Amino acid sequence: MSSAVTASDFVLLVAVARHDQAALAELYRRHGGSLYCAALRVLSVREPAEEVVQDVFLRLWRRPERFDPMRGSLRGFLLTECHGRAVDVVRSDSARRRREEGVAASVDAPHVMEDDVLDFVCGEKMRAAVEALCESEREAIGLAYFGGRSYVEVARALGIPEGTAKSRIRSGLARLRGAVVEAGMDPPVASARMS
């Protein structure tokens, strides 16, 4: 087992291989938020991003042996799977849109435009919320949630104590959650708990 794979993740993965639903739920609790953020960065729309995360965990449930602990961390594996799946969704949507261009006249353009504007505004609000964080929180959250690093790896990358890294991530997430709620959007997932 690679040192990048935590013992608890490995134990949970073994339990998932035995079809233990509680183990899968715990892995989702630990890694679902990071995966959601990664999918949302690619897709920019909440529902497809949530579906991608669910699909990644469903694939893990069905074929947990695909994860090779000698090649890296479980978080890294899941983020790679998530990114690949999100890119597939973008490509599939692009191909579908090209096919539908031939029948564009039958599409209710104002309704489609309204959805696109809503998605854009929500994405802009989220970007603004992230930009409003102080630089230290934004940097720590960027490494943890968009870079797929643990708080220990964040601390190492920033050259700060682990407790400081954990504190910056927690306070930044609390501010983001508040900004999302204030902007009238539903928070996508429960705020992460650092172990």
114-159 pLDDT, tens digit each: 555 545 555 666 677 777 888 898 888 888 876 677 878 889 989 9
- What is the pTM (predicted TM-score) of this model? 0.50
What's residue 21's pLDDT? 94
Neighbours of 82 (CB within 10 A): 26
Domains and CATH numbers, the chain: 1-102 (1.10.1740.10), 110-195 (1.10.10.10)
Instruction: Output the DSSP codes for 60-94.
Output: HHH-GGG--GGGS-HHHHHHHHHHHHHHHHHHHHH
Neighbours of 97 (CB within 10 A): 10
Compute the Cα dihedral for 153, 154, 160, 161 and give only its sign.
negative
Q: Which residue has the tokens 């479980």?
A: 74
Cα(65)–Cα(164) distance, integer angstroms: 36
